[in-house]
Amino acid sequence: MSKLYFRYGAMNSGKTAALLQVAHNYEEKGMTIVVIKPSIDTKGDNKVTSRLGIERQVDVLLAPGEGIMEHMISQKPNAIIVDEAQFLTPDQVDELYAITKMYNVPVLTYGLRCDFQMKGFPGATRLLELADDIEELKTICRCGKKATQNIRLINGEPTFSGSQIAIDGTENITYDSVCGECYLKLRR
């Protein structure tokens, strides 16, 4: 029985580099994979891109209401890999879970847990509830502690209100990853 994996981490913790490594490992062994990115993430179009300077074509740009099974059946992959998995809908996560159990295909998902207001992304929350294997990808705060939260900056200034989804680099918005203590201090 295959597993649903969720690898979560704050902004810039290396989720995409880890994904590209796993994709490479499968293909090096002669196996086939399907790389999925939810289409809500408009950054990078149909590519997944790591800040380390490596990237890869996406196989499926998945729309919010779209099913996954059809993509899987046509390609009979050895594994399914999902970047920006926080943008999956809860129903898509349920479908991925069923695929691991009914079709015995491992599914590896990478994404954020919470947004800049410390609210869970619906797709991430469902992954945390269902994943057979949860692992954190770690990065550090400027203070030296483990960064776990995401700060949204507008023109470099922290902001704590706004819509949940605003893609990095648009409308003068950037993000930084911080530890929980620094997050709470900044918010006060």
Which parts of this chain interact with a second copy (CB under 8 A)?
Answer: 1, 12-14, 17-18, 20-22, 24-26, 28-31, 51-54, 78, 97-98, 100-102, 113-114, 118-120, 124-126, 128-130, 132, 134, 136, 139-142, 144-146, 148, 179-181, 184
Pick the closer one to a second copy by CB: 19 or 36: 19
Cross-strand bridge partners of residue 51: none
At 62, which amino acid appears?
L
- Four-residue CA torsion sign, 145, 151, 157, 161: negative
Catalytic residue annotation:
84
| Residue 70 phi, psi (nearest 5) | -55, -40
**Cβ closer to a second copy: 71 or 146?**
146
Give the relative orientation of helices 90-102 and 122-130 as an angle to the nearest 10 degrees.
30
Min dist. Cβ of residue 165 to a second copy (A): 17
Residues 6 or more apart from 145 whose CB is under 8 A from it?
A: 179, 181, 182
Q: Shortest Cβ distance from residue 4 to a second copy (Å)?
A: 8
Cα angle vertex 72, ends 68, 77, to 5°? 140
Cβ proximity to a second copy: between 65 and 144 the closer is 144
Q: What is the smallest separation between the CB atom of 54 and a second copy, expressed in angstroms?
A: 5
- For residue 104, the SS3 value is coil
Q: How far is the CB of 83 from a second copy (least distance, A)?
A: 15
Beta strands in the chain (DSSP E): 4-8, 33-38, 47-49, 55-57, 60-62, 79-82, 107-111, 133-136, 139-140, 146-147, 149-154, 157-159, 173-178
Shortest gap between Cβ of 185 and a second copy (angstroms)? 9
